[in-house]
Every structure is written in structure tokens, then in C-alpha cells.
Amino acid sequence: MSSRGHLTLLACESGRAFADRIAAALRQIYNNEPNLEPFTFKRSTEVPFPNGEIKTVIEENIRGEDIYIVQCCDDPLAPDRSVNDNLMALFTAIDAACRSDADSVTTVVPHFPYARQERKKARESITAQLIARFLEDSGTRKVITIDIHAEAIEGFFHQATLENLHAARLIIDYFSSRYRIDNMVCVAPDVGSADRARFYSKNFGCDLAICDKARDYSKIGKIETMRLVGDVRDRDVFIGDDIIATGGTMINAMRLLKEAGARDIYLAATLPFFSGNAPEKFDRAYQQGLFRTLIGTDAVFRGEQFARVYPWYEEVSVAPLFAQVIFNINQKRSVSALLK
Ligand code: R5P
């Protein structure tokens, strides 16, 4: 058989907007493959219970199909739905798909929930490993995500495989077609981001500098100290990170870089969560001239409105990349070139 079976896309409630974009990109791919049976996009409904419990119900027959379930656990468009609600909706969708005799169930999570705790410091849980276990126990045998916070999480899966995509190439293409990259330095906002910054610097063909950040883990989002390794005087700066949560890392890095003589600063992050009042903090930093633009991706789906309210925000869509990977997996074609 040349494919894994009929490709069906299924969205949980908070994954629907991103799944719509994947579906649009898949339609274009199928338009160029007239001999293939088209994919289908099937409906699911979320049923809430008065005590706060939740379950997903699949509305159509999926027996024998190759199912891709899309869920965005952090959903800025529905702030009343917690990450945990959305996770439970996802687990019950996977379980429902397995119990409905889908041939294979793949989970598409543009951001892997709880990924920031992949090791323990004190008497605490390794939550990323728990999520991997729960996903496998629900019945998924493949997970697709992008720029997972720690690549070691792949090793937490025993029965399922993880495909970790990268947004950097898309961000590089977008950025180089709009902004000048001569006289630019790529900066890692912390030592953990050094590999990513090295990739950016190699592909932009520019120098590298690193901010050395120390956190106080007894206080949520609190950064203790930051110092710069490298030279940014009279240079433009590009800072690429995986996550923006409170914004503390980026904003502290920008202040340090400005003190060190940086000219224009450009920011990029695959997962712009903007927790709490982070948008207002970036707005203030923008008014103060700390940066020129912040490029995020729709892996955290914010819709059109956000960029209208905040003129410093630009979005790159990673949905076509997800669509191509889903298509290649279904057609049993190689995905390695898409994962770089
Ligand atoms: C840290 O290891 C990550 O790569 C990000 O730098 C961090 O999660 C960003 O968090 P915040 O915006 O709260 O500083």
C-alpha cells in the first residue's frame, strides 16, 4: 500500500482555527496530486459537564482511517479554557478515535504542553514525561509538534514517535525578504538558545552573541542576572527564541543589548504565548524604541486581530509546514528534509 490509508483531519475545539489553516494548505497540496483520493476534515464536538469535566465526541465514522487530531492547548482566543481543559479534550479525542477503530492516530500539537519541565530540580514532577505517557496511554502512536522546548522529550516516548518541526527556516525567509541583514548580529537570549541562535547566524551569515541568563526558580518568571558574551556595538540585532511567556527574557536581553550599544533590535519566537500582561510590556518597550518588530508564528494561534492591535507584531504561518509533514507521513514519503 502506498499510503497509510484515507487521510482525515480532526480538530478539537481549540485546534480548529489552526486546523482550518492546515486544511487550506493540504487542499493546495492535493490540487497538485490529482490521482490521490482527497483528504477529509471531520467534525468533533466538545461536551462539558456541570462539574467541569469534559469529553470530545467524534461526529462521523472514522473506521480504518489515518487520523490527525489537531489541538492547541494554550488558546489565546478562548482565555477561559485552560491548558488543562484543552489537554483533557485532546486525550478524550485520541481515546475516542482509537475506540472508533481508526487505523492510526496522530496527535498534532503545535506547542507541546508542559514542555518546560523536562527534568527535576527538587521534589517535583517531570511534567513533560507525564504528558508523553498520557498521550501514549490515550492511544496516539505519533506526535507532531514544532520547536519543542527540550529535544530530550523525544526520549520520553516509548510506543509513539515524535516529529519535531522547526520554524527557523520560515522565519529566516520571511525576515530576509523584508529587513536588512548586513551589519546584523544574532543573539541567543540565554545559553539554552545558543544552538538556535547559531543556526540563525549561520543561515543569515552573521556573527553570534549570547546572553547568559540566571533565573530565580523560587519566583515565577523572575530573572536574576544577565550578562552579554559577544560584541553588538553599532550593530543591528536579531534575537530568536522558542518561547515568549512573561517576556522577561526578551525584554531584559533588549535592555542589556541597548546598553551595550546595539542599534535596531528585531525579535522572533516560534511560540508567542504572551502570558499575563506581556503584550502591554512589549508595547511599552516598543514605545521606548527598544525593538522594531516581533515575529511570531501561528503555532500559538492569535488570529488577525492581535497584529491590528499591536503594530509591532508580525506573523509567519507554520500551518503549510504541518500540512506538508502530515501529507508526507500519510503518503509514506520522507519527512527528514522538512524537519531541518
Ligand atoms: C527559556 O528557556 C525559554 O527558551 C524562553 O527564553 C523562556 O521560556 C521565555 O520565558 P519568559 O518570556 O517568561 O522570560
pLDDT category at 255 given cuts 50, 70, 90 is: very high
List pocket residues of ligand 1, CB cut-off 6 Å. Answer: 189-190, 192-193, 221, 241-249
Report d(CA 239, CA 8) in Å as an integer.
Answer: 38
Question: Is residue 193 domain-shared with residue 111, that is, in the same domain?
Answer: no
pLDDT of amino acid 198: 96
Of 196, 199, 204, 223, whose CA–CA distance to 212 is shortest?
223
CATH number where 236 lies: 3.40.50.2020
Question: Is residue 102 domain-shared with residue 129, that is, in the same domain?
Answer: yes
Q: Are 251 and 282 in contact (CB under 8 A)?
A: yes
133, with CB counted inside 10 A (0-12, 13-18, 19+), is middle
- Closest ligand 1 atom to residue 245 Cα is 12
- Calculate how far, in angstroms, residue 49's C-alpha sits from the geometric centre of ligand 1: 35
Mean pLDDT score, 199-222: 82
Question: Is residue 302 domain-shared with residue 326, that is, in the same domain?
Answer: no
Structural domain contains residue 21: yes
- Which of 212, 242, 252, 271 most suits a substitution to test ligand 1, by most atoms within 8 Å of the C-beta? 242
Q: Which tens digits make up the pLDDT trace of 296-305?
A: 999 999 999 9
Question: Is residue 129 domain-shared with residue 12, that is, in the same domain?
Answer: yes
Q: Which tens digits make up the pLDDT trace of 59-96?
A: 999 999 999 999 999 999 999 999 999 999 999 999 99
Question: Is residue 39 domain-shared with residue 121, that is, in the same domain?
Answer: yes
Q: Whole-number mean pLDDT of the chain?
A: 95
Structural domain contains residue 2: no
Q: Are 129 and 118 in contact (CB under 8 A)?
A: yes
The number of folded domains in the chain is: 2
194 or 224: which carries more pLDDT confidence?
194
Told to judge if 213 belongs to the known catalytic residues of this protein, a careful annotator would answer yes
- Calculate how far, in angstroms, residue 251's C-alpha sits from the geometric centre of ligand 1: 11
- Closest ligand 1 atom to residue 192 Cα is 2
Question: Is residue 280 domain-shared with residue 267, that is, in the same domain?
Answer: yes
Residue 225 has pLDDT above 80, yes or no: no
Question: Is residue 64 domain-shared with residue 134, that is, in the same domain?
Answer: yes
15, with CB counted inside 10 A (0-12, 13-18, 19+), is buried
Q: Which tens digits make up the pLDDT trace of 87-134?
A: 999 999 999 999 999 999 999 999 999 999 999 888 999 999 999 999
- Closest ligand 1 atom to residue 278 Cα is 12
Instruction: Read off the pTM.
Output: 0.94
Report d(CA 191, CA 78) in Å as an integer.
Answer: 33
Q: Which tens digits make up the pLDDT trace of 40-62?
A: 999 899 999 999 999 999 999 99
Domain that holds residue 118: 7-167+319-339
Mean pLDDT score, 20-25: 98
- Calculate how far, in angstroms, residue 264's C-alpha sits from the geometric centre of ligand 1: 21
Cα Rg, the chain, nearest whole Å: 21
pLDDT of amino acid 340: 80
Of 177, 151, 284, 262, whose CA–CA distance to 211 is shortest?
262
Residue 224 has pLDDT above 70, yes or no: no
pLDDT category at 222 given cuts 50, 70, 90 is: low
- Calculate how far, in angstroms, residue 127's C-alpha sits from the geometric centre of ligand 1: 17
Residue 218 has pLDDT above 70, yes or no: no
Question: Is residue 201 domain-shared with residue 106, that is, in the same domain?
Answer: no
Mean pLDDT score, 287-315: 96
Residue 221 has pLDDT above 60, yes or no: no
* Bridge partners, 185 (sequence order): 207, 237
Report d(CA 66, CA 236) in Å as an integer.
Answer: 47
Q: How far is CA 182 from CA 9, 150, 237, 268, 291, in A?
A: 42, 31, 10, 18, 17
Question: Is residue 326 domain-shared with residue 227, that is, in the same domain?
Answer: no
- Residues 42, 120, 202, 213: which is the catalytic one? 213
pLDDT category at 141 given cuts 50, 70, 90 is: very high
Q: Which residues of 170-208 are buried (b: 16+ CB within 10 A; e: fewer)?
A: bbbebbeeeeebeebbbbbbbeebbebbebbbebbebeb
pLDDT of amino acid 333: 96
Question: Is residue 325 domain-shared with residue 290, that is, in the same domain?
Answer: no
Question: Is residue 269 domain-shared with residue 288, that is, in the same domain?
Answer: yes
Structural domain contains residue 1: no
pLDDT of amino acid 215: 65
Question: Is residue 33 domain-shared with residue 48, that is, in the same domain?
Answer: yes
